Structure 1
Amino acid sequence: MRIAVTTPTGNVGRHVVTALVRAGVRPRVLLRDPGRLAPDIRDEVDAVQVDQYEPDSVAAATAGIDALFWVDPPAEGTDPLADYARATDSVVRAVTGNGIGRVVFQSSVGAEKRHGAGEIDGLARTETALDGLGIDVTHLRCGYFFTNLEFQLDALRAGTLQVILPLDLPMAWVAPRDIAEVAAARLLSPGWSGRCVQGVHGAADLTWRQVADILTAATGRRIGVERITDDAMRAQLQGVGMSDGLVEAVLGMSTGLREDFAPEQPRTVRTTTPTTLAAWAYDTLRPQITDASS
């Protein structure tokens, strides 16, 4: 089976690549800068330089491919949903032009709403487009990435996280490595066909209060959490240089899911993955916090 992987240096993609290599597959990896690949993986893959926003380039890079792991690249302009639409055009062109019959798409919890969830609406658009192609496609509806906490290292060192979600609202938290294992298994498995939706919910649903307690225990420093207003968060995001469009898209991922929302896939053995936040925080987050203060 000839498999292509997008975002092969990302939080999920790099683990998809190594899982496939361990399975005996030599994947084709698509990225803007092949030099960013880890030195030990470069001889195990076929790297193709490509911009995922350019449909013709993506189609050329995926010629001869049987299965594709697709991740919409991070929005880079002032209109995130327009960027997602461009990425969707690219994957549709690649699939239809090359007869790719199998796609695993990294989506998100909340994409089932289709509208009203900020940046997640862009993922919903990609889902809908892939559904219309009549191929075998699995949408991975992933929970909140543990690695998102790495964007808040300064706040963690200061001891307080600020969020706009209710502090006692449970939600799925997941390790990117676990998402990759599910993705690789789906790419390699012949046991499914048609349109599938696979929740990837991590080891447990957690509230922000529980997260703060887990991080406190894992890092050895007191970490609290407080809820702030939407406008206060909006001002923070604008303060770091985000455009108004990007600010609203980021906020929408929280505001669109905080009331009257439940994931389409309930937590079951199929959606639960093994890595706990406590284990990840001890191994990955603790060194980043303690090393900076030592």
Structure 2
Amino acid sequence: MIVITTPTGQIGSQVLANVLTSGEPIRVIAREPSRLPPQVRERVEIVRGSTDDVGVVNDALTGADTVFWLVPPNPRARSIPGHTLDFVRPLCEAITSQGVKRVIGVSSLGRGTARNAGQISAIFAMDDLVESTGVSYRSLCPPGFMENLLQQVEPIRSQGVFFSPVSGDHKVPVCSTRDIAAIAAELLLDDSWSGQDSVPIHGPEDLSHHDMAEIMSQVLGRPVRFQQVPGDAYVATLTRHGMTEAWARGIVDMAAAVERGAYDAEPRSPRSTTPTGFRQWCEEVLKPAVLA
């Protein structure tokens, strides 16, 4: 039995789509099962509820061999570590009580080196807790997602600009969620692995924000520029749009860790280099969103 969390989310939905045709029994945990497409609801077993509920997670992991686990973001959370641990403790309890064999979690590049890194630091604590159970574990370690730019579709469309606290010339790896999902699905369907290890995911290339702006301009057929925003101003903007101070400050701390080289600790390899390029992603995902 394969269990998949966040089946209607950005990554979880793609993981689910990738394993649906496998013939393996699949169970999902969903707050709102009605958001699942009808063809998915017909194919999978559904446990309704949230992954921060011990009872729900125990029910869902009963008889499970392999679990895909992702802590959903909550921009209204009052504490980043508290939010993360609320979603990890039920998993750790169920791993032990239900005898789960393998877990695949979504973490981040920079494990072991990034410090005071906001949401990244909290997700590393997840890795440590899951590994403390002794379960076979693969920690997927991507950089920032290309899909994060979808949060700035409106300023890209109306002003031709996008923003970040990270400087415009700092090159970093960037990847698409489709490639994260493909790796997760491959691991879910492979029952031969054991032990605990990290799986770096680097995308196909390192890009700066200025590089991204140039590619976006070419794909969209209109000028797009990048503007760096000081940390305090970035926090103020995010909180004006309803984000908690803690979550906004975590994003700025995460950006500062990236600026300090958090993503540089793990060298790129052929195995960590995933296929979806930024230009392809802009053509297939960003451009339709901007033109919608």
The interval holding the TM-score normalised by the smaller chain is: over 0.9
Alignment of 1:108 onto 2:102: no
Deviation at 1:206, TM superposition (A): 1.0
Which amino acid in 2 is paired with 1:68? V
Residues 83-232 of structure 1 correspond to what in structure 2 (within 5 A)? Answer: 83-113=83-113, 115-157=115-157, 158-232=159-233
Cα deviation, residue 147, structure 1: 1.0
Instruction: List structure 1 segments (4+ residues) > 4 angstroms apart after TM superposition.
Output: none
Deviation at 1:26, TM superposition (A): 3.2
AA matched with 1:117: A
Give the Å deviation of 1:56.
2.4
Q: Is the 8 A contact 1:114 1:125 kept in 2?
A: no
Q: Which residue of 2 aligns with 1:21?
A: 20
What's the C-alpha RMSD, in Å, of the aligned pairs?
Answer: 1.5
1:52/1:73 contact within 8 Å kept: no
* Other structure's SS at 1:87 match: helix
The answer to whether the aligner puts 1:251 opposite 2:252 as a matched pair is: yes
Per-residue CA deviation, residues 237-260 of structure 1 (Å, 9 max, x unaligned), is: 121122211111121211122114
Amino acid at match of 2:233: A
Q: Structure 1 residues 148-157 or 24-33, which shifts more?
A: 24-33
Equivalent residues of 2:67, 2:103 under 8 A apart: yes
- The equivalent of 2:286 in structure 1 is 285
Please say if residues 156 and 162 of structure 2, whose CA atoms lie closer than 8 Å, have aligned partners that are also in contact. Answer: yes
What's 2:37 paired with? 38
Q: Quick one: which amino acid aligns to residue 27 of structure 2?
A: R
What is the Cα deviation at residue 262 of structure 1? 4.1
Amino acid at match of 2:278: L
Q: What is the aligned residue count?
A: 290
Deviates more, 1:207-216 or 1:106-115: 106-115
Q: 1:55-66 to 2 correspondence within 5 Å?
A: 55-66=54-65
SS of the aligned residue for 1:8 comes to coil
Matched AA of 2:138: T
Query: Where does structure 1 lack aligned partners over 5 or more consecutive residues?
Result: none
Measure, in 2, the Cα distance between the counterparts of 1:196 and 1:80.
24
* CA distance in 2: counterparts of 1:26 and 1:221, whole angstroms: 47
**CA shift for structure 1 position 120:** 1.3
Give unmatched runs, 5+ long, in structure 2: none
Question: Residues 89, 114 of structure 1: CA spacing in aligned structure 2 closer, same or farther, 3 A cutoff?
Answer: farther
Q: Quick one: which amino acid aligns to residue 240 of structure 2?
A: G
Residue number in structure 1 paired with 2:3: 4
The alpha-carbon distance between structure 1 residues 259 and 147, as it changes in their structure 2 partners (threshold 3 A), is: same
Check the 8 A contact 1:88/1:125 in 2, yes or no: no
Distance 1:71 1:78 in 2: 19
Query: Cα gap change, 1:263/1:23 in structure 2, threshold over 3 Å: closer, same or farther?
Result: farther
Provide the C-alpha distance between the structure 2 equivalents of 1:114 and 1:72, rounded to a whole number of angstroms: 19
Asked if 2 retains the 8 angstrom alpha-carbon contact of 1:119 and 1:249, the reply is: yes
Q: Which amino acid aligns with 2:26?
A: P
8 Å contact kept, 1:20–1:26: no
| Greater mean alpha carbon deviation, residues 121-130 or residues 104-113 | 104-113
